Amino acid sequence: MDFVNTIKSKAEQYRAYTADVLSQLVKTKSYSSKEEDVCRLIKRLCEEAGFDEVRFDGLGSVVARIGKGSKSIAFDAHIDTVEVGNMKNWKFDPFSGEVKDGLVYGRGTSDQKGGAASMIAAGRILKEMGYAGDYTLYFTFTVMEEDCDGMCWKYLIEEEKFKPDFVVSTEPTSCRIYRGHRGRMEIRIILRGISCHGSAPERGVSAAYKAARAALAIEKLNNDLQPDDDKFLGKGTITVSQMDVKGPSQCAVADYAMIYCDRRLTWGEDAELAISQVRKYVCEATGDNPEDVVIEMPDYEKVGWTNKEYSQELYFPTWKIPQDHKLVQSGIKSYEKLFDKEPTVDKWTFSTNCVATTGRHNIPAIGFGPGDEAQAHAPNEITRVEDLVICSKFYALLPYVLEGKC
């Protein structure tokens, strides 16, 4: 069989189908931990497309299978979205799912239900081609990523003992091949003061002023952070995302302050290093003894749509794989065979479920997805129908290239 041209032809044949699948997904609201409706829709769509097996895992993610080879690859899309924010910033209904002028409109079109739609189309193509190769192909439509990236995969790997040989994340890459991204973690700082009456602030110690100095120290730390050795992922960053100051009354010196930080981790940085850096910079700024300042990594404990209790610390390790890795090279070869040109190989700016598959559990992964990173979490989110078709072709061909059949 001419795998390349057969896949290209079928993906074009299913152009409208793939766009319609995405439209259905967008019309089905699925905020994090509230994905039941879209998961049930995806299960039905996969069954209609002929997948060999479709099931829910304990957290509610959809796991669909094609084939029964001795090796395995998982194509992953998270199917939850962030909320829409201020509706005044939207020029159209965020849940319209309208398909018009080569675009699909609405929340999640790029981040990242577009990847899910292309996966379903690719599965349909592979079933029609009678795929029975060396790989078991899994298509995972995962939950709660926007709240806690990777926890869905931490659960699959650690609790259900599901660990594929390779992973392809279908997060938006503008149809480029990505081979890594920075990790991240969340850090909470608690500072204490001594309250007194506001008419005589000199009698107390203001936690608010400590917080102000600490926030400026975090700004300095961000400026001092350095890039990774090969400068592929770039420098780590840290920013203050929330602050809260409290005291006994509105007429008192504040005796409590909380600072919440978003820390992005480049290659070679981890949670222990990041917390030690914050402790050093904050204590130097506030004059506190290190043991008097609480600097901690919180846990995520939200319960999802299946009511399964599961949690993890808010730490998401950095990952990358080499350009010469078999998975990267197979991705490059697949792209070249389909599109007669070299792909761009790069990295994400944001974080994905690969923090668990690859950052925690060392499963080689690449990214290839429809839509643009800049669309993620933004109002007036769109994706291109052409991207959906490109990606369905890529996902369908990759197993054959990994097997050396083309």
Instruction: Indicate which residues carry an active-site annotation.
Output: 80, 145
Cβ-contact 300, 356 below 8 angstroms: no
* Cα atoms in the 13 Å half-sphere on the side-chain side of 148: 22
C-alpha distances in Å from residue 221, one per residue of 225, 234, 351: 6, 16, 21
Query: Quick one: tokens of 33?
Result: 């931990």
Residue with tokens 């003992």: 161
